[in-house]
Structure 1
Amino acid sequence: MILTTRKQFQSLISLNENGEYIARYSNWRIHSVFQPIFGRSHKIVGVEALVRITTLEGKSVRPDLFFSSTEISIKDKINLDKLSRVIHIRNFAISEYKKLKLFLNILPSVSEYFALHDVNNCLLSNRLNELNIDRSQVIMEIVELNANNEYLFLEAIKKLSTSGYSIAIDDFGACASTMERVKSLQPNIVKLDRELLLEHMSGQTNRLLEGIKLARSIGAKVIVEGIETQQHYDSMIKLNLDMYQGFYLGTPEAIRTDVKEVV
C-alpha cells in the first residue's frame, strides 16, 4: 500500500527527545538533517533536507544504497521517500531556517505520482499552506536515478513547475542527471556533482565548465556541491557561481528546537 492520507502518515510520525519529528516505517527509522547552501554574499540562502535511515536494530543505511537497491520494493522506496519529505517539512517549519529556501530531494519514480493528481490539492501542498511555507521557497531536487515512465515523469515536473515549485537537477554529471534531462526539464537550478568539482581541481575542467554553460543557456542558476576545502571554495568563487554547498561550508545537522509541536 502506498501512503496517501494524513492519517496514514500521522500514525508513523512522532517527536523525539530533542523536539524533532522522526518516523518509523516497516523495519526502518528515519530522521531529518539539513545542510546549508550559501549564496554569493557568503550567507545561508537555503538548506537541503537529507534523510538519515537506520534499521530498528540501530544499523545505519546509506540513503543512496537504499533507493538504488534491487532488494527493496518500489513500494517501500516510494513510501519512505514520501514520508521523509513529510518530516523534513515539519522540521523545517520549526527551524531558524523557515524563511529561507528548502531543497527537497525527490525520486523520479515518486514525481510521476504528481502527473496523475492535482498538485494544488495534494497532501504536500496542503501541508505547506498550513505551515505557512510558500511554494516559492520549495525547490524540488530531482535525484540522478532513472524514471520508470519518462512521459509521466516529464508531465509531473511540468505540473510542479506551473504550481509554483522550483525545479533543480541534482548531481548533474552523474547517472541520469544528464544534459538531455536538463534540456527536457528546463530546471530553475542545476546542481553540479562533486565529481565535476574534483575533475576541475585536477585540471580536467571541461565537464564542469560545460555544465555551467548549459545551465546559463537555459537561464538556470548553478550550485556546486562537494566543497570540502578552502582550495575548493576559492576555485569555485572565481567562477562566480550562484550558490555553494559542501562539508567545508556546513555539514548536515539535525535541527534542535524548543518550538512547540506542529500539529
Structure 2
Amino acid sequence: TQRISAFSENHRAGRWSGDEFLVALPYSDSTTALAIAQAITHSISQPIYVHGNEIHLTASIGIAMTPTDSLSATDLIQLADLTMCEQKQSSTNKPQLFSHDVKDRILASQHILEGLQHAIENKQLYLCYQPIQNAKDYNCWANEALLRWDFDSELIGPDVFIPLAEKSGLIKEIGAWVLNRACMDAVHWHDTPKIAVSVNVSVIQLMDKGFIRLLDKCLQSSGLPPERLHLEVTESTFVENQAFILQQLEQIRARNIAVSIDDFGTGYSSLSQLQALPVNFVKIDKTFVDNIEGKGEAIIRATLFIARELGCKTIAEGVETKEQAMALSAMGVDYLQGYYFAKPMKSNALAEWQKATIKTLNVK
C-alpha cells in the first residue's frame, strides 16, 4: 500500500478488495496516467525482504479516463477493472488503457461464457475422434476424443472455450460430460473392440476429490473395460500439488486405466518429478515433430531416451507427412497421430474410416 500511495495525493489511493487497489489521478491525461502506472509497476516489482526471504511481486494495471470513458465513478472503476483483467491475460506486463476494442473483446468473452453455461443442455457439444496409429503396422491403436462446440451455428475453438471453462469452473461439468460420452461411444466400436479411447483431463478435474468416483461411474454405466480408457494430462499438471496428483494417478492406474503425459517437453516439470509418476505414455508435442528436420530431432531422441528410462511408450502427435511418419517410426516412436493418417471425425465417420482401414489392411 505504501508503494502505491507514494504516487498519489493524500487519500486518493487505497485497497478496493482482496489484492485489488484503486488510485485516483486528478488532472492527468492518458500519457501521464500510463507513466505513473508504469512507475507503480516498477516500484511494486522491487524485492521485499521478510525474515531473510526475498519476495517478488507483480502488478496488473487497467486505466479508465474521465470524461472520455465515463462520468460515473462506479463505471470508471468497473472499466478499469475489466481492462486490468484483460491486461492480466496478455503476454506483456504493461499498464493498459480502456478502449472500445478491449470492451468488445470482454463482451465477446462474456457472450461465449454465457453460451457455454447452457451448451450441454442445448446439446451443442459433441466429440470428434482422431485415430492414433501403431508406428509399426499403422493399425489403429486408440482414438483421441476432441471436444467441439457448435454455438448457434458458429464453431468455437477449444483454444477459446476451454480456458473460459477452466476459469469459470464449468470444466468439471463439461469434463464429466466428455468422459461419459467418450466411454459410451467407445463401447459401440464393435468392429474394433480392442481400440482404446483417450480423453484429455485438466488439472482442475484431477484436483477434484470426486474425480475417481466420476471415473468409476462412467465405466460402470457405459460398460467400457477400464483398460480401454486412457487419460491425457498436460505436463504442467505436475508442477503444483504433486502429492495429491500422485494419489489420484495411483488410484487411476490401480483401475488399469492408462495415463499419458501430453505436450511433453513444453512444460516445466523436472525429471525427478516425472520419474515418480505412475504414467504409461509420453506424448511428443507437435512443435517438435514440425521441426523434425532441425533441432526437433534431437529433442525427440532425448524424449525417447527419457521415456524408456521412465518405462513409458511414446506417441508423436501432429504427424502430417509420410516423411515424418517414416522418420519417427525409424527413431523408435511407438505410436503416431496426425493429419497424415486422419483428421478428427464424428463417430459415424470414424466407424466408416475404421471399416475402410481394416479392409485395406486385410487386402495387404
Q: Same fold (TM over 0.5)?
A: yes
Aligned pair partner of 1:80 in 174, 187, 190: 174
> Any conservation in 1 of the 2:253–2:278 contact (CA below 8 Å)?
no
Distance in 1 between residues matched to 2:133 and 2:276, nearest whole Å? 27
Check if 1:238 corresponds to 2:330. Answer: yes
The residue number in structure 2 matching 1:5 is: none
1:123 deviates by: 3.7
Matches within 5 A, 1:6-21: none
Q: Deviations over 1:45-71 (max 9, x none)?
A: 11111111232x2222221332234x8
Please identify, of 176-185 and 201-210, the stretch whose mean Cα deviation from structure 2 is larger: 176-185
Matches within 5 A, 1:106-125: 106-113=201-208, 116-117=209-210, 119=212, 122-125=213-216
CA spacing shift, 1:181–1:47, aligned 2, 3 Å = farther
1:169 deviates by: 0.4
The residue number in structure 2 matching 1:46 is: 142
CA spacing shift, 1:201–1:65, aligned 2, 3 Å = farther
Aligned pair partner of 1:227 in 304, 309, 319: 319
Check if 1:195 corresponds to 2:287. Answer: yes
The residue number in structure 1 matching 2:248 is: 156
Aligned pair partner of 1:100 in 172, 177, 195: 195
More relative contact order, 1 or 2 (CA 8 Å, 6+ apart): 1
CA spacing shift, 1:184–1:54, aligned 2, 3 Å = farther
- Where structure 1 has 5 or more consecutive residues not aligned to the other structure, the ranges are 1-22
Distance in 1 between residues matched to 2:215 and 2:211, nearest whole Å? 11
Distance in 2 between residues matched to 1:67 and 1:177, nearest whole Å? 22
CA spacing shift, 1:126–1:26, aligned 2, 3 Å = closer
1:178 deviates by: 6.3
The residue number in structure 1 matching 2:130 is: 35
> Any conservation in 2 of the 1:224–1:243 contact (CA below 8 Å)?
yes
Check if 1:141 corresponds to 2:236. Answer: no
> Any conservation in 2 of the 1:28–1:53 contact (CA below 8 Å)?
no
The residue number in structure 1 matching 2:298 is: 206
Aligned pair partner of 1:173 in 260, 265, 274: 265
Give secondary structure in 2 for the equivalent of 1:227: coil
The residue number in structure 1 matching 2:108 is: none
1:172 deviates by: 0.8
Distance in 2 between residues matched to 1:97 and 1:31, nearest whole Å? 21
Distance in 2 between residues matched to 1:154 and 1:93, nearest whole Å? 29
Distance in 2 between residues matched to 1:108 and 1:189, nearest whole Å? 17
Q: Deviations over 1:130-173 (max 9, x none)?
A: 43311111111113554674432222112111222111101112
Give secondary structure in 1 for the equivalent of 2:275: helix
Please identify, of 140-149 and 35-44, the stretch whose mean Cα deviation from structure 2 is larger: 140-149
1:182 deviates by: 2.9
CA spacing shift, 1:197–1:46, aligned 2, 3 Å = same
Check if 1:183 corresponds to 2:275. Answer: yes
Cα RMSD, aligned residues only: 2.7
Normalising by structure 2, what TM-score? 0.57
Give secondary structure in 2 for the equivalent of 1:151: helix
1:118 deviates by: 8.3
CA spacing shift, 1:241–1:153, aligned 2, 3 Å = same
Normalising by structure 1, what TM-score? 0.77
Give the number of aligned pairs: 230
The residue number in structure 1 matching 2:343 is: 251
**Quick check: which has more Rg, 1 or 2?**
2
Give secondary structure in 2 for the equivalent of 1:238: helix
- Where structure 2 has 5 or more consecutive residues not aligned to the other structure, the ranges are 1-117, 352-364
Query: One-letter code of the match for 1:143?
Result: T
Query: One-letter code of the match for 1:42?
Result: Y
Query: One-letter code of the match for 1:81?
Result: G
1:101 deviates by: 1.3
Distance in 2 between residues matched to 1:256 and 1:38, nearest whole Å? 19
1:192 deviates by: 0.4
